[in-house]
């Protein structure tokens, strides 16, 4: 249960948004919409507790995320514009390290299977630097399939993906929702997803 | 603890993957040291006198150059963000990165220093002491440097700003480190210098990772 | 009073360059600094006034 | 958080401090002017000629106050910065940033006047003496603080990063001072040690203290002026700034 | 020609925008120079002897640190690609970047060197000669450095690899530059050193921009 | 008139494509399609003469682009995944400098108008670093409106753009085509453009 109360964000001397309210129960997802520069990325970073809001509060199951700290962070996964994949490492190594960081036990076979599911079979051992734009995104997204986190915060997850990969990712998100997960995402494209809440900035 | 080890392992692997990256810090150390005889002239006595100072300054500059790679790549590709969001304590991960930095930068310097000392015709006991001071001193340099690297993260022209911030803080390490060797060469007792250096290290081990972690969280906002 | 003449005062017993160099630099620095701060204040005030005027123009159709 | 603390926060808000500072500034300027006049009079017309250094010693009347202030201001700056980091009060971080340039100026004056003193007394502009070296490093620490805070555009981030640097520095200043001193005494090479007049004449001491007071008042006055400018810059978008008479007033 | 001036203007503007970035190279120069006495000890005679060498090495290291910013930012954001695709000759644009680099890095070093010489108690004529050698030498450093910067562009750990490539090429400049001042201090004629330095500069002006351009084209492939 | 004969591209020991043939007359555009990693970006870089093909040849009005060199480069504009905008500079400065580089005379007013047309009014003087992902792309694309080049090579030009910006860019491309320009682009999304040629990798 994620709730936001009266959130505001200020950048420079511009107020990007204020008075944002929403609440998401398990199985619900939120589509953050808005023009370029409306403040979607900024909102997502605030929800991920990476930067503090200028005003307002975010609650997770009724408790403020500032108090929860690490307990909250352990339950979320945030994938942003950046890759968070090392260009020198292969997708496999990247995934294994991410699992370590997340304190998830993951063996090579499982990791390889996850990558194959994301269409990277045969590229598991090629340094990410050589991958195409879309393949890089896939290597990143493979983490979604591995880590057990309840709250997914995804910033434009569909960029650079081809049609097949978009379908795959949508299916993954649907399954996560069906299992009682919560998803917050931004996207300029229309998505093949069950109806969710929408928030316009 | 597990996460700490995994960060260290990953960073070591990364250093290995970026072929010869750690090696080039070493070469930098060697080249700076050997530039001085070229700039100053070949008088053996003069060179012996200034050898500890030069080796220490070269080690310091080499460490400093490596600092740019401590957090910046992880910041640029978003890994640092993920570390901050990880369930493992962020401070521990930062500590892991600092340790890995020392293992790939400081330790090779320590191993190489005695050979470079030979080039300046230092006596055996001075060589030993030089190595010992560097062994205590280079972790100190990595720890202090981590604060500077974290503070300048993501800033334009960070590389040079970093040196501006960090070099003044390196002064005590330099003075005690080079001072110990020089004291011994002129026949004085070096243990005072050494214990002060060790005390500084103990202080830094406690405070530097904490300060670096706070600075990193700020940089990520 | 220990100075025989103004000239002796300015000569400072042969240390004129050093004494007046020091006091001169101190004087220059301590005059220039407040002036710079004053300019900073004037700049920001000018900006604020301009913004206020712009806002007023915006409000009036 | 207790009520008392919140109250305190209210008084420490830029909004209530801005007019207060405005009222205090003339007083400090006045005190500084009086002290400068008295101090310079004592320094040039009352204090006798030094039997060793002749008239050259009169540099002491600015050198020593500048040196003291440079060290004192750093501590004050670190204090405000640390307070800003711990309690998240905007005003104290602004104070820290307002002090830094003045502190750097004092360090610079100390170096400059010291060099202009060293040339006639020691025959060289500079020696690598403990005091001198640590003053130089202090100057670098100031520059680092200024460079870091001005390299960060987001004011909140600049405040916090600057605070960490200032705190690390304030721990290091004594370490640096003692390390340099020890380094120097061990070598005892060709360097000249500071020759102090054994017993300073009462009038000299008095003049120095009055000048130190003048420097102190000056620093406070300039820092307050600067903090007011910083407040205006940072709070430009707030209503209370827009309501200020100097903003509303004559075009 | 127009394009050359526009590149120079842009890079100068950029240096201005990155507040105090050129300034921090200067500070690096100052700090490195003042680290050596700290490592070596305060003996005035010894310091005077090694001063030209130290100042030259410091200038060299400062220039080298600035090299990282010569092409890398333009490469990272694709500007270099666009320059290569521009109708103006690429070599001219590269030359513009090198000139701007010297104006923001080398020239301030030259201006500052005499003051730092004072810290080492150098006599006036040595100070003058030191400044002169740096005036000839720093453009040379920028030109040679540009080749290295172009060659290491986009390589991981490029910063340190760069120093590895460039430092050996800097050695002749260092020897003739510092050598001239030392020769004069001991009362020998310095003009031989000076003319060799000038000859090197003339050579570099012709070949370095060309080599850097070729290297850049390769890096862009 | 752009023609490609028997183009091939090899990366590592993988042949991405070979035997690519196409020709584009003025007013025609080519949609390069393919899955993630099919080699679209690689093909575009080859067409922009940034990297040489493993085999085959590209001709511009009948002459090989290798011979044409600078003459060819003067007539094309290539916008890739990277920004090619300086993060320190404002969009305005970036655009003015790009115009200098392209040797196009451009005054402040014109530049400002071009940026305003791309929805960056009020952000002309903010360093690009502070802009949102979409605003960065817009600052980059503004160059299309300014530089007179005949051949446009655009790698995923629609990423990160919101609906309004997509429509604007499409209109710009259409106008370019109507004026006899040639466009080569890649995109995973469907585009509101008149029918063009398609090339599947
Ligand atoms: C660049 C050169 C110099 C620098 C950076 C410098 C720095 C300082 C500093 C930091 C202090 C305050 C330290 C304290 O109170 O413990 C000080 C005090 C003082 N300095 Fe200097 N100094 C320089 C040159 C000189 C010279 C050349 C002389 C005289 C020949 C001199 C005489 C004094 C005296 C008399 C004091 C007051 C000492 C006291 O109150 O205990 N200084 N200087
Ligand atoms: N050294 C190498 N060894 C093997 N394969 C390589 C090597 N370097 C690159 N590749 C492959 O070459 C392809 C490069 O594709 P390119 O970037 O052109 O794809 P793209 O069609 O633009 O894809 P996207 O839609 O994801 O942007 C990738 O499939 C990559 O895996
Ligand atoms: N210092 C500043 N001064 C003024 N405006 C700023 C400053 N920093 C950031 N901004 C503005 O803040 C906004 C940041 O938006 P954000 O990145 O959250 O947008 P977004 O909704 O994710 O957009 P996109 O769809 O393009 O990714 C931008 O409009 C930017 O112009
Ligand atoms: Mg965004
Ligand atoms: Mg691609």
Which residues lie below 8 Å from residue D206, measured CB to CB, with a gap of 6+?
A: D42
Which residues lie below 8 Å from residue E176, measured CB to CB, with a gap of 6+?
A: E133, E137, E193, E194, E196, E197, E200
For the residues D124-153, what does the mean pLDDT come to?
86
End-to-end CA distance of chain D: 44
CB E197 within 8 A of CB E183: no
Give the pLDDT means over successive 10-residue stretches in chain B (221 positions): 84 80 79 82 82 90 85 84 84 93 92 89 89 94 94 77 88 88 81 89 93 91 80
Number of structural domains found in chain D: 1
What is the spatial distance between Cα E145 and Cα E70, in angstroms, rounded to a whole number? 9
End-to-end CA distance of chain E: 26
Other beta carbons within 10 angstroms of residue F191's beta carbon come to: 16
pLDDT in tens, D5-56: 555 555 578 888 899 999 999 999 999 999 999 999 988 888 877 777 777 7
- pLDDT reading at D251 higher than 60: no
Q: Are strands F29-33 and F63-64 parallel, antiparallel or unpaired?
A: unpaired
Which residues in chain F land under pLDDT 50?
none
Query: Helix, strand, coil % (nearest 5) of chain E?
Result: 85, 0, 15
How far does Cα D13 stand from its chain's mean position?
23
Query: Are there at least 3 beta-carbon pairs closer than 8 Å between E and B?
Result: yes
What is the spatial distance between Cα F5 and Cα F24, in angstroms, rounded to a whole number? 12
What is the spatial distance between Cα E54 and Cα B69, in angstroms, rounded to a whole number? 27
CB B53 within 8 A of CB B182: yes
3 state DSSP class of F153: strand
pLDDT in tens, D197-224: 445 678 888 889 999 999 999 999 999 9
Alpha helices in D42-89 (DSSP H): 60-87
- pLDDT reading at D189 higher than 50: no
3 state DSSP class of E56: helix
Other beta carbons within 10 angstroms of residue F13's beta carbon come to: 5
Side by side, which strands form the sheet with F76-79? Answer: F76-79, F151-155, F182-186, F29-33, F197-200
Which residues in chain E land under pLDDT 50?
none
Q: How far is A33 from chain F (nearest CA, A)?
A: 10
CA E170 → CA B89, E60, E99, E149, distances in Å?
Answer: 46, 8, 18, 13
Contacts of B167 in chain E (CB under 8 A): 28, 31-32, 35
- pLDDT reading at A124 higher than 70: yes
In chain F, the residue whose alpha carbon lies closest to the alpha carbon of A159 is F159
pLDDT in tens, A164-181: 899 889 999 999 999 999
Candidate of D66, D125, D131, D177 to mutate for ligand 1, largest count of ligand atoms within 8 Å of Cβ: D131
What is the spatial distance between Cα F133 and Cα A10, in angstroms, rounded to a whole number? 17
Query: Looking at the DSSP assignment, which residues form a beta bridge with residue D249?
Result: none
User: Helices (H) and strands (E) in chain E — how many of each?
Assistant: 9, 0
Which residues lie below 8 Å from residue E123, measured CB to CB, with a gap of 6+?
A: E185
Angle at B101 between CA B97 and CA B105, to 5 degrees: 175
pLDDT of residue B148: 94
Asked if C41 reaches chain D (Cβ–Cβ under 8 Å), the answer is: yes
CB B200 within 8 A of CB D142: no
Distance (angstroms) between ligand 5 centre and the Cα of F11 equals: 14
Tokens of C13: 């017993």
Which residues in chain C land under pLDDT 70?
1, 59-61
Give the model's confidence band at D2: pLDDT under 50 very low, under 70 low, under 90 confident, else very high: very low
Which residues lie below 8 Å from residue D157, measured CB to CB, with a gap of 6+?
A: B218, B219, B221
Contact A35 F160 (CB under 8 A): no
What is the spatial distance between Cα D80 and Cα D93, in angstroms, rounded to a whole number? 6
pLDDT of residue E134: 93
What does pTM read for this prediction?
0.84
| Region class of A43: left (phi > 0), else alpha (psi between -120 and 50), else beta | alpha
- Domain spans in chain C, listed from the N-terminal domain onward: 32-61
In chain B, the residue whose alpha carbon lies closest to the alpha carbon of E176 is B39
What is the spatial distance between Cα F148 and Cα E210, in angstroms, rounded to a whole number? 29
- pLDDT reading at A40 higher than 90: yes
What is the spatial distance between Cα A68 and Cα A76, in angstroms, rounded to a whole number? 12
DSSP string, B99-163: HHHIIIIIHHHHHHHHHHHHHTT--HHHHHHHHHHHHHHHHHHHHHHHHHHHHTTT-TTHHHHHH
Return the partners of chain D (3 or more C-beta pairs < 8 Å): B, C, E
The domain in which residue D104 lies consists of 24-45+58-235
pLDDT of residue E19: 58
| Region class of D88: left (phi > 0), else alpha (psi between -120 and 50), else beta | left
ipTM beyond cut 0.90: no
Tokens of E159: 């910063």
Query: Looking at the DSSP assignment, which residues form a beta bridge with residue A198?
Result: A31
Contact D189 E44 (CB under 8 A): yes
Query: Looking at the DSSP assignment, which residues form a beta bridge with residue A33?
Result: A200
Percent of chain A with pLDDT over 70: 100
Note the ligand closest to the C-alpha atom of F162.
Answer: 3
Asked if E44 reaches chain F (Cβ–Cβ under 8 Å), the answer is: no
For the residues A21-40, what does the mean pLDDT come to?
91
Give a yes or no: residue D111 inside a domain.
yes
Contacts of F131 in chain A (CB under 8 A): 37
- pLDDT reading at D250 higher than 60: no
CB F18 within 8 A of CB F4: no
CB B162 within 8 A of CB B152: yes
> Whose CA is closest to atom 31 on ligand 2?
A131
End-to-end CA distance of chain A: 21
End-to-end CA distance of chain C: 73
- pLDDT reading at D186 higher than 50: no
Q: Is B194 exposed, middle or buried (0-12, 13-18, 19+ CB in 10 A)?
A: buried
- Sign for the CA dihedral angle at B73, B78, B81, B83 comes to negative
Which residues lie below 8 Å from residue F109, measured CB to CB, with a gap of 6+?
A: none
CB E149 within 8 A of CB E68: yes
> Whose CA is closest to atom 22 on ligand 3?
A41
For the residues D83-110, what does the mean pLDDT come to?
93
Tokens of E92: 């001219």
Other beta carbons within 10 angstroms of residue E162's beta carbon come to: 26
3 state DSSP class of C60: coil
pLDDT of residue E18: 66
What is the spatial distance between Cα A125 and Cα D111, in angstroms, rounded to a whole number? 59
> Whose CA is closest to atom 39 on ligand 1?
D64
Q: Is C42 exposed, middle or buried (0-12, 13-18, 19+ CB in 10 A)?
A: exposed
CA B215 → CA A135, B205, B209, D83, D154, distances in Å?
Answer: 33, 16, 10, 16, 14
CB F178 within 8 A of CB F194: no
Tokens of A8: 């505001």
Of residues A57 and A82, the one with the higher pLDDT is A57
Q: Is A102 exposed, middle or buried (0-12, 13-18, 19+ CB in 10 A)?
A: buried
pLDDT in tens, E118-150: 888 888 888 999 999 999 999 999 999 999 999
Give a yes or no: residue D114 inside a domain.
yes
Placement of tokens 């900073």 in the chain: C40
CB D193 within 8 A of CB D32: no
In a mutational test of the F interface, the residue from A130, A132, A156 whose CB has the highest number of chain F CBs within 10 Å is A132
Angle at B77 between CA B74 and CA B82, to 5 degrees: 70
For chain D, what is the mean pLDDT? 84
What is the spatial distance between Cα F118 and Cα A55, in angstroms, rounded to a whole number? 31
């Amino acid at each position: 249960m994620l709730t936001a109360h009266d959130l505001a964000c200020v950048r420079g001397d511009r107020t990007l948004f204020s008075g944002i309210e929403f609440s998401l129960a398990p199985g619900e997802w939120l589509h953050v919409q808005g023009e370029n520069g409306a403040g979607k990325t900024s909102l997502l970073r605030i929800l991920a507790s990476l930067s503090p809001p200028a005003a307002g509060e975010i609650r997770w199951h009724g408790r403020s995320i500032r108090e929860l700290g690490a307990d909250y962070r352990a339950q979320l996964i945030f994938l942003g514009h950046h890759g968070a994949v090392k260009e020198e490492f292969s997708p496999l190594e990247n995934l294994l390290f991410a699992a370590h960081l997340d304190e998830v036990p993951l063996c090579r076979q499982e990791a390889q299977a996850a990558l194959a599911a994301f269409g990277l079979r045969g590229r598991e051992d090629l340094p990410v630097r050589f991958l195409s734009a879309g393949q890089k995104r896939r290597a990143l997204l493979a983490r979604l399939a591995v880590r057990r986190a309840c709250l997914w915060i995804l910033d434009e997850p569909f960029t650079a993906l081809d049609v097949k990969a978009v379908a795959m990712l949508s299916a993954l998100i649907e399954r996560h929702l069906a299992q009682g997960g919560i998803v917050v995402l931004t996207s300029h494209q229309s998505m093949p997803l069950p109806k969710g809440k929408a928030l316009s900035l | 603890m597990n996460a700490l080890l995994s960060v260290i392992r990953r960073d070591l692997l990364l250093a290995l993957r970026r072929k010869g990256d750690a090696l080039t810090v070493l070469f930098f150390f060697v080249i700076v040291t050997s530039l001085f005889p070229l700039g100053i002239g070949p008088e053996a006595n003069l060179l012996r006198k200034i050898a500890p100072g030069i080796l220490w300054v070269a080690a310091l500059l080499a460490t400093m150059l490596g600092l740019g790679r401590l957090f910046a790549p992880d910041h640029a590709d978003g890994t640092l963000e993920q570390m901050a969001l990880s369930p493992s304590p962020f401070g521990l991960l930062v500590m892991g990165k600092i340790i890995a930095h020392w293992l790939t930068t400081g330790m090779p310097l320590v191993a190489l220093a005695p050979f470079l000392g030979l080039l300046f015709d230092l006596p055996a006991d001075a060589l030993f002491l030089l190595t010992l001071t560097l062994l205590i001193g280079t972790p100190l340099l990595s720890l202090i440097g981590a604060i500077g690297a974290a503070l300048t993260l993501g800033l334009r022209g960070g590389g040079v700003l970093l040196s501006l911030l960090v070099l003044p803080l390196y002064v005590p390490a330099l003075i005690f480190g080079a001072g110990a060797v020089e004291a011994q060469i002129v026949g004085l007792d070096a243990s005072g210098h050494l214990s002060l250096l060790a005390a500084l290290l103990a202080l830094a081990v406690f405070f530097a990772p904490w300060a670096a972690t706070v600075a990193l969280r700020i940089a990520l906002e | 009073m220990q100075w025989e003449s103004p000239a002796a005062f300015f000569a400072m017993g042969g240390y004129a360059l050093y004494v007046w160099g020091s006091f001169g630099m101190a004087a220059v620095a301590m005059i220039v600094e407040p002036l710079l701060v004053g300019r900073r204040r004037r700049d920001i005030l000018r900006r604020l006034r301009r913004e206020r005027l712009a806002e007023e123009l915006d409000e009036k159709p | 958080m207790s009520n008392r603390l919140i109250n305190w926060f209210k008084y420490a808000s830029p909004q209530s401090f801005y007019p207060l500072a405005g009222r205090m500034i003339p007083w400090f300027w006045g005190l500084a002017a009086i002290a400068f006049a008295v101090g310079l009079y004592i320094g040039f017309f009352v204090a006798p000629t030094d039997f060793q250094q002749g008239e050259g010693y009169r540099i002491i009347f600015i050198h020593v106050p500048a040196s003291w202030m440079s060290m004192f201001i750093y501590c004050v700056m670190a204090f405000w910065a640390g307070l800003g980091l711990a309690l998240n009060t905007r005003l104290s971080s602004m104070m820290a940033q307002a002090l830094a340039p003045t502190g750097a100026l004092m360090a610079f004056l100390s170096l400059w006047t010291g060099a202009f003193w060293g040339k006639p007394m020691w025959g060289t502009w500079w020696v690598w003496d403990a005091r001198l070296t640590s003053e130089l490093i202090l100057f670098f620490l100031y520059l680092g603080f200024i460079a870091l805070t001005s390299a960060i555009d987001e004011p909140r981030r600049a405040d916090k990063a600057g605070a960490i640097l200032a705190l690390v520095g304030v721990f290091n200043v004594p370490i640096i001072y003692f390390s340099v001193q020890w380094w120097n005494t061990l070598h005892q090479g060709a360097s000249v040690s500071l020759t102090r007049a054994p017993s300073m004449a009462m009038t000299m001491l008095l003049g120095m203290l009055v000048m130190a007071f003048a420097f102190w008042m000056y620093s406070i006055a300039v820092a307050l002026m600067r903090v007011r400018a910083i407040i205006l810059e940072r709070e430009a978008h707030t209503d209370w700034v827009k309501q200020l008479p100097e903003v509303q007033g004559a075009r």
